[in-house]
Amino acid sequence: MASPSILARENLKVLAKGVQAVVVLVPAAEPQDPAATPRERAAARSVLKLVLGPENGVSASLRPHNPVKEVAALRKADHANVGSLPTAPLTRCQIIKLLDYSYDRKALEHIITLPLQALRLTEVLTASFAADERAYAAGSQPPQARVSLSLFVRTAQGLLSALAHLHAQGISHRDVKPANIMLSWGGEPVLKDFGTAWDEAGAGDDIDPDEQGGGKTAKGKPKTTAVGTGPYRAPELLFGPNDYDPRALDLWGAGATLAEFFRQTGPYPVEPDSGPDSSDEELGAAVAAVAALKIGRRPSPTDNERTPLFNAAYGDLGLAGSIFRILGTPTKDSWPTFDSLPDAHKMFFDERPAVPLASVLPGLNEEEEGDARADVVRVLGGLVRLEAAERTSAADALALLERTSLSPHAQDKAAAAFIDSLLDAEAVKFA
């Protein structure tokens, strides 16, 4: 955690506290412009991300995060020319901007200065879900169904644009999820938290000697599999790969993240995980339980959240089971390289076919005008493919998005008003 001396000396307000870092709010500059709106004042503020560790960033307590590599990735991404990349008319390539960086040798602390952002995507998802539920409770067709579609398009444009830019520079984020996507005070999605980013030009990862899986790239660089978060982790990470394409992890994470705009059912059915030291008998019993699962009930308004597309609540086995329940168990066609993974045959899953992706996205309005429903499935289906090499690249997915019927939905006035209301309410906290 952060050095107590810094927090005491500056009397800074803690905004977030995690295992690897503490984020604190920098006091507002004085004097403030009296004519500025609360959102303009909030947009002018910054935060400090404080990470305790050695100067080179390599520490068993931080692994696989490294603040030095995070800063290097942000600098490289910021300095690159993005003029040739496809961008949507309302959304530009938004990657959180590094304002300053220093290392306090006395406190052994990395100090990363970043702009204050408005909202996490998780908060936007929750707010839009609550609006949907209120409409359902009133017995009417939810007006927010169209808003959710617009929010999906706006977020997809920004996220895919950011990933296309990063991948063109040889950088992969490796932890794409709703909590790592913010909304700026202008309402644009911003990708943040590059603590586990991979740079093709870098030295590789600091790997835990006891890590199962992982190895070295073709160029001899160590690469960890201990990346990604829960339901947003790509399936290849679950089977002990010696190497993998880090860009493909981002694409899977993007698909799983964007799908949540249409996830309005829950809770998840139980998917037992027998753990890493289980016997074959225990493993078989767990898999049998997974095979017997049934779809859960529709949530009540008090649930007040959207559920992820996949479920990691019961470890890697449960996550793999939830993925295969939707995309089908691996076949030569759906996952040609599956048999080459070291742990491919250490788990047994009953054969099952893939289900239509739209069937697990109940928030997609069947009455949606035009081809929007089918186009959403096309975009998401290209990102969440079992075979990493077959996932649609970020640049191609962005281009596909612009060619479909979805692009005009980014300009939906109801969605813009919805976001403005959230941002205005949040800005008051920092005025």
What are 376-429's pLDDT values in tens digits? 999 999 999 999 999 999 999 999 998 988 888 888 888 888 999 999 999 999
Global pTM value: 0.85
Query: Do residues 401 and 157 make contact, with C-beta atoms less than 8 angstroms apart?
Result: yes
Rounded CA separation 321/310 (Å): 9
Query: Do residues 190 and 119 make contact, with C-beta atoms less than 8 angstroms apart?
Result: no
Q: Is residue 63 part of a domain?
A: no
Structure tokens at 312: 């990691």
DSSP run (H or E) holding 29: none
Q: Is residue 10 part of a domain?
A: no
Mean pLDDT of 244-264: 95
Rounded CA separation 46/27 (Å): 8
Domains in the chain: how many in total? 1
Q: Is residue 74 part of a domain?
A: no
Q: Is residue 323 part of a domain?
A: yes
Mean pLDDT of 129-149: 61
Question: Does 144 have pLDDT greater than 60?
Answer: no
Q: Is residue 374 part of a domain?
A: yes
Strand-strand pairing, 171-172 and 198-199: antiparallel
Average pLDDT along the chain: 82
Considering only CA atoms, which of 291, 311, 296 is closest in space to residue 233?
A: 311
Query: Do residues 138 and 244 make contact, with C-beta atoms less than 8 angstroms apart?
Result: no
Q: Is residue 265 part of a domain?
A: yes
Rounded CA separation 347/124 (Å): 37
**H helices present in 275-369, as ranges:** 280-291, 315-327
Q: What is the 3-state secondary structure (H, E, C) of 103-117?
A: EECCCCEEEEEEECC
Question: Does 336 have pLDDT greater than 90?
Answer: yes
Strand-strand pairing, 22-25 and 13-17: antiparallel
pLDDT in tens, 220-244: 678 999 999 999 999 999 999 989 9
Give the DSSP letter of residue 138: T
Question: What is the domain range of residue 250?
Answer: 117-430
pLDDT in tens, 167-207: 999 999 999 999 999 999 999 999 999 999 999 998 787 77
Question: Does 272 have pLDDT greater than 70?
Answer: no
* Residue 154, CA atoms < 13 Å, CB-side half-sphere: 28
Q: Is residue 288 part of a domain?
A: yes
Considering only CA atoms, which of 231, 210, 89 is closest in space to residue 161?
A: 89
Q: Is residue 17 part of a domain?
A: no
Query: Do residues 273 and 314 make contact, with C-beta atoms less than 8 angstroms apart?
Result: yes
Residue 252: which CATH number? 1.10.510.10
Structure tokens at 216: 């070295």
